[in-house]
Protein backbone atom coordinates (compact mmCIF):
# COMPACT_ATOMS: atom_id res chain seq x y z
CA UNK A 1 0.00 0.00 0.00
CA UNK A 2 2.83 2.39 0.80
CA UNK A 3 4.34 1.71 -2.61
CA UNK A 4 1.11 2.47 -4.46
CA UNK A 5 0.59 5.57 -2.42
CA UNK A 6 4.04 6.67 -3.28
CA UNK A 7 3.43 6.18 -7.00
CA UNK A 8 0.29 8.23 -6.82
CA UNK A 9 2.15 11.03 -5.15
CA UNK A 10 4.70 11.05 -7.91
CA UNK A 11 2.07 11.54 -10.58
CA UNK A 12 0.38 14.27 -8.64
CA UNK A 13 3.62 16.19 -8.19
CA UNK A 14 4.24 16.07 -11.90
CA UNK A 15 0.76 17.47 -12.69
CA UNK A 16 1.27 20.31 -10.22
CA UNK A 17 4.05 21.80 -12.28
CA UNK A 18 2.56 21.19 -15.75
CA UNK A 19 1.46 24.18 -17.84
CA UNK A 20 -1.01 22.64 -20.27
CA UNK A 21 -2.12 25.83 -22.07
CA UNK A 22 1.36 27.38 -22.21
CA UNK A 23 0.29 30.67 -20.60
CA UNK A 24 3.17 30.61 -18.01
CA UNK A 25 0.90 29.52 -15.12
CA UNK A 26 1.13 25.92 -13.85
CA UNK A 27 -2.03 23.90 -13.92
CA UNK A 28 -2.43 23.89 -10.14
CA UNK A 29 -2.48 27.67 -10.01
CA UNK A 30 -4.26 28.27 -13.36
CA UNK A 31 -8.03 28.76 -13.04
CA UNK A 32 -8.41 27.49 -16.58
CA UNK A 33 -5.37 25.33 -17.28
CA UNK A 34 -6.58 24.65 -20.82
CA UNK A 35 -7.30 28.28 -21.83
CA UNK A 36 -4.20 30.44 -22.33
CA UNK A 37 -6.29 33.61 -21.99
CA UNK A 38 -7.67 32.78 -18.53
CA UNK A 39 -5.43 32.37 -15.51
CA UNK A 40 -7.71 33.64 -12.73
CA UNK A 41 -11.44 33.59 -12.14
CA UNK A 42 -11.48 37.34 -12.45
CA UNK A 43 -10.45 36.94 -16.07
CA UNK A 44 -13.91 35.61 -16.88
CA UNK A 45 -16.07 37.47 -14.30
CA UNK A 46 -14.82 40.99 -15.09
CA UNK A 47 -16.74 43.18 -17.55
CA UNK A 48 -16.18 41.51 -20.84
CA UNK A 49 -14.84 43.40 -23.77
CA UNK A 50 -15.92 42.62 -27.22
CA UNK A 51 -16.73 39.01 -27.36
CA UNK A 52 -14.43 37.11 -29.60
CA UNK A 53 -16.32 34.42 -31.25
CA UNK A 54 -14.31 31.33 -31.81
CA UNK A 55 -15.19 30.02 -35.21
CA UNK A 56 -15.12 26.32 -35.68
CA UNK A 57 -13.23 25.63 -38.83
CA UNK A 58 -15.22 23.86 -41.43
CA UNK A 59 -14.27 22.22 -44.61
CA UNK A 60 -13.28 24.85 -47.14
CA UNK A 61 -16.01 25.71 -49.56
CA UNK A 62 -15.14 25.56 -53.23
CA UNK A 63 -15.61 29.14 -54.22
CA UNK A 64 -14.35 28.61 -57.74
CA UNK A 65 -16.76 30.26 -60.08
CA UNK A 66 -18.09 27.65 -62.53
CA UNK A 67 -17.05 28.32 -66.08
CA UNK A 68 -19.92 29.65 -68.11
CA UNK A 69 -20.15 27.57 -71.26
CA UNK A 70 -22.49 30.03 -72.94
CA UNK A 71 -21.41 33.11 -74.81
CA UNK A 72 -21.56 36.21 -72.62
CA UNK A 73 -24.50 38.44 -73.26
CA UNK A 74 -23.77 41.60 -75.14
CA UNK A 75 -23.67 44.16 -72.37
CA UNK A 76 -22.83 47.05 -74.65
CA UNK A 77 -24.99 49.93 -73.68
CA UNK A 78 -26.81 51.25 -76.77
CA UNK A 79 -25.69 54.71 -77.69
CA UNK A 80 -28.21 57.26 -76.63
CA UNK A 81 -28.64 59.95 -79.24
CA UNK A 82 -30.25 62.26 -76.67
CA UNK A 83 -27.92 64.61 -74.82
CA UNK A 84 -28.47 63.86 -71.09
CA UNK A 85 -25.79 66.20 -69.78
CA UNK A 86 -28.34 68.89 -69.13
CA UNK A 87 -32.05 68.97 -68.65
CA UNK A 88 -33.30 71.06 -71.54
CA UNK A 89 -36.37 73.16 -71.31
CA UNK A 90 -39.33 72.18 -73.53
CA UNK A 91 -38.03 74.63 -76.16
CA UNK A 92 -34.57 73.06 -75.92
CA UNK A 93 -36.09 69.64 -76.17
CA UNK A 94 -37.80 70.66 -79.36
CA UNK A 95 -34.52 72.01 -80.74
CA UNK A 96 -32.61 68.86 -79.86
CA UNK A 97 -35.28 66.79 -81.57
CA UNK A 98 -34.22 68.40 -84.85
CA UNK A 99 -30.80 66.80 -84.47
CA UNK A 100 -32.25 63.39 -83.76
CA UNK A 101 -32.63 60.95 -86.63
CA UNK A 102 -36.12 61.27 -88.03
CA UNK A 103 -38.08 57.98 -88.12
CA UNK A 104 -38.54 56.40 -91.51
CA UNK A 105 -41.70 57.49 -93.23
CA UNK A 106 -44.37 54.80 -93.31
CA UNK A 107 -46.03 54.58 -96.67
CA UNK A 108 -49.76 53.90 -96.86
CA UNK A 109 -50.71 50.28 -97.38
CA UNK A 110 -52.21 51.04 -100.78
CA UNK A 111 -48.97 52.68 -101.93
CA UNK A 112 -46.92 49.70 -100.73
CA UNK A 113 -49.27 47.29 -102.48
CA UNK A 114 -49.07 49.33 -105.64
CA UNK A 115 -45.26 49.32 -105.47
CA UNK A 116 -45.17 45.54 -104.99
CA UNK A 117 -47.69 44.82 -107.75
CA UNK A 118 -45.81 44.29 -111.00
CA UNK A 119 -46.90 46.48 -113.86
CA UNK A 120 -48.53 44.30 -116.51
CA UNK A 121 -46.55 44.18 -119.71
CA UNK A 122 -48.46 45.40 -122.73
CA UNK A 123 -49.19 42.59 -125.14
CA UNK A 124 -47.61 43.26 -128.46
CA UNK A 125 -50.11 43.65 -131.24
CA UNK A 126 -49.56 40.92 -133.81
CA UNK A 127 -48.03 42.38 -136.93
CA UNK A 128 -50.12 41.80 -139.99
CA UNK A 129 -48.43 39.53 -142.46
CA UNK A 130 -47.38 41.56 -145.44
CA UNK A 131 -49.17 40.57 -148.63
CA UNK A 132 -46.87 39.08 -151.26
CA UNK A 133 -45.96 41.36 -154.11
CA UNK A 134 -47.92 40.76 -157.31
CA UNK A 135 -46.44 43.04 -159.99
CA UNK A 136 -48.09 43.07 -163.42
CA UNK A 137 -45.08 44.55 -165.19
CA UNK A 138 -44.79 47.47 -167.56
CA UNK A 139 -47.27 46.04 -170.06
CA UNK A 140 -50.15 44.62 -167.98
CA UNK A 141 -52.47 42.06 -169.55
CA UNK A 142 -55.91 43.41 -170.52
CA UNK A 143 -57.49 40.07 -169.52
CA UNK A 144 -60.25 40.51 -172.13
CA UNK A 145 -60.54 39.06 -175.59
CA UNK A 146 -63.58 39.97 -177.77
CA UNK A 147 -65.11 37.98 -180.56
CA UNK A 148 -65.46 39.71 -183.92
CA UNK A 149 -69.00 40.48 -185.09
CA UNK A 150 -71.03 41.58 -188.12
CA UNK A 151 -74.49 43.06 -188.36
CA UNK A 152 -77.00 44.60 -190.74
CA UNK A 153 -78.25 48.11 -190.42
CA UNK A 154 -80.79 48.40 -187.58
CA UNK A 155 -79.98 44.91 -186.23
CA UNK A 156 -79.35 43.96 -182.58
CA UNK A 157 -76.55 41.47 -182.03
CA UNK A 158 -74.81 39.85 -179.06
CA UNK A 159 -71.15 40.68 -178.63
CA UNK A 160 -69.26 38.10 -176.53
CA UNK A 161 -65.90 38.09 -174.83
CA UNK A 162 -63.80 36.19 -172.31
CA UNK A 163 -61.93 37.40 -169.24
CA UNK A 164 -58.87 35.27 -168.49
CA UNK A 165 -56.30 35.74 -165.68
CA UNK A 166 -52.84 34.92 -167.10
CA UNK A 167 -50.94 35.63 -163.88
CA UNK A 168 -49.75 33.26 -161.17
CA UNK A 169 -51.80 35.20 -158.62
CA UNK A 170 -55.42 36.27 -158.36
CA UNK A 171 -56.83 39.48 -159.76
CA UNK A 172 -59.73 41.16 -158.01
CA UNK A 173 -62.21 44.04 -157.96
CA UNK A 174 -62.58 44.08 -161.76
CA UNK A 175 -65.06 45.68 -164.14
CA UNK A 176 -65.48 46.01 -167.90
CA UNK A 177 -67.33 48.69 -169.87
CA UNK A 178 -67.98 48.81 -173.62
CA UNK A 179 -68.43 51.96 -175.71
CA UNK A 180 -69.12 52.65 -179.43
CA UNK A 181 -70.33 55.41 -181.69
CA UNK A 182 -72.74 57.89 -180.13
CA UNK A 183 -75.84 56.52 -181.89
CA UNK A 184 -75.14 52.87 -181.02
CA UNK A 185 -77.14 51.27 -178.19
CA UNK A 186 -74.94 48.97 -176.01
CA UNK A 187 -76.21 47.09 -172.90
CA UNK A 188 -74.24 44.68 -170.67
CA UNK A 189 -75.98 41.33 -170.25
CA UNK A 190 -73.51 39.42 -168.05
CA UNK A 191 -70.05 39.04 -166.59
CA UNK A 192 -69.01 42.67 -166.81
CA UNK A 193 -67.71 42.74 -163.20
CA UNK A 194 -65.98 40.34 -160.85
CA UNK A 195 -64.78 40.15 -157.24
CA UNK A 196 -61.94 37.77 -157.99
CA UNK A 197 -60.61 35.68 -160.82
CA UNK A 198 -58.07 33.11 -159.72
CA UNK A 199 -54.86 32.37 -161.59
CA UNK A 200 -55.51 30.87 -165.06
CA UNK A 201 -59.28 30.97 -164.54
CA UNK A 202 -61.79 32.57 -166.98
CA UNK A 203 -65.11 34.39 -166.94
CA UNK A 204 -67.51 34.94 -169.85
CA UNK A 205 -68.85 38.39 -170.65
CA UNK A 206 -71.61 39.57 -173.06
CA UNK A 207 -73.35 42.71 -174.38
CA UNK A 208 -76.28 43.42 -176.62
CA UNK A 209 -75.42 45.88 -179.38
CA UNK A 210 -78.05 47.58 -181.59
CA UNK A 211 -76.76 48.97 -184.90
CA UNK A 212 -78.38 52.19 -186.21
CA UNK A 213 -80.56 51.94 -189.32
CA UNK A 214 -78.29 54.15 -191.39
CA UNK A 215 -75.04 52.46 -190.29
CA UNK A 216 -72.85 50.92 -192.98
CA UNK A 217 -69.24 49.82 -192.98
CA UNK A 218 -66.84 48.93 -190.14
CA UNK A 219 -67.15 50.43 -186.67
CA UNK A 220 -64.83 50.14 -183.65
CA UNK A 221 -66.09 49.23 -180.19
CA UNK A 222 -63.77 49.78 -177.25
CA UNK A 223 -63.83 47.82 -173.96
CA UNK A 224 -62.17 49.34 -170.89
CA UNK A 225 -60.96 46.77 -168.29
CA UNK A 226 -60.05 47.69 -164.71
CA UNK A 227 -58.69 45.29 -162.04
CA UNK A 228 -56.26 45.12 -159.11
CA UNK A 229 -53.57 42.90 -157.63
CA UNK A 230 -51.91 43.12 -154.19
CA UNK A 231 -49.43 45.64 -155.52
CA UNK A 232 -50.92 47.19 -158.66
CA UNK A 233 -54.09 48.73 -160.09
CA UNK A 234 -54.54 48.28 -163.83
CA UNK A 235 -56.65 49.94 -166.51
CA UNK A 236 -56.44 48.54 -170.04
CA UNK A 237 -58.38 48.90 -173.29
CA UNK A 238 -59.39 46.28 -175.84
CA UNK A 239 -60.83 47.22 -179.28
CA UNK A 240 -62.89 45.11 -181.62
CA UNK A 241 -64.63 45.90 -184.97
CA UNK A 242 -68.21 45.33 -186.08
CA UNK A 243 -68.84 45.12 -189.81
CA UNK A 244 -72.23 46.62 -190.79
CA UNK A 245 -73.79 46.03 -194.18
CA UNK A 246 -77.05 46.83 -195.73
CA UNK A 247 -79.89 44.77 -194.46
CA UNK A 248 -79.97 41.41 -196.25
CA UNK A 249 -76.40 41.78 -197.51
CA UNK A 250 -74.49 40.61 -194.44
CA UNK A 251 -73.86 36.93 -194.38
Residue 92, pLDDT score:
47
Within a domain: 5 = no
Within a domain: 208 = yes
Within a domain: 116 = no
Kindly report the CATH number assigned to the domain that includes residue 234: 2.60.40.10
Give yes or no for a contact between 147 and 135, defined as CB atoms under 8 angstroms apart. Answer: no
Q: Report long-range pairs for 185-188 (Cβ below 8 Å, ≥24 apart).
A: 185/156, 185/209, 185/210, 186/210, 186/221
Q: What is the pTM (predicted TM-score) of this model?
A: 0.48
Within a domain: 198 = yes
Within a domain: 56 = no
Within a domain: 122 = no
Number of domains making up the chain? 2
DSSP code, position 16: H
Please choose, from the candidates 140, 190, 145, 191, the residue with its C-alpha nearest in 3D space to the C-alpha of residue 169: 140
- Rounded Cα–Cα distance for residues 160 and 149 (Å): 9
SS3 state of residue 18: coil
> What residues make up the domain containing 31?
15-39
- Report mean pLDDT in 10-residue bins for the chain, 251 residues: 43 64 80 80 62 52 54 53 48 48 58 63 71 87 93 95 96 97 95 96 97 95 96 95 80 50
Within a domain: 25 = yes
Residue 5, pLDDT score:
42
Within a domain: 76 = no
Q: Decide the pairing of beta strands 202-210 and 171-179.
A: unpaired
Amino acid sequence: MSLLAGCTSLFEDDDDIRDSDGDGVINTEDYAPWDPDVQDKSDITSTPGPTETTQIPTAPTDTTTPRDTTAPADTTVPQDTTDTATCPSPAGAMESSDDAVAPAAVEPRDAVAAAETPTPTATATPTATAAPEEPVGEDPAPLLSLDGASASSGETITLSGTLQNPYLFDVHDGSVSLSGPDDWDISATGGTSFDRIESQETQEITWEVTVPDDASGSYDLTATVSYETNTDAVTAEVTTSVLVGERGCVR
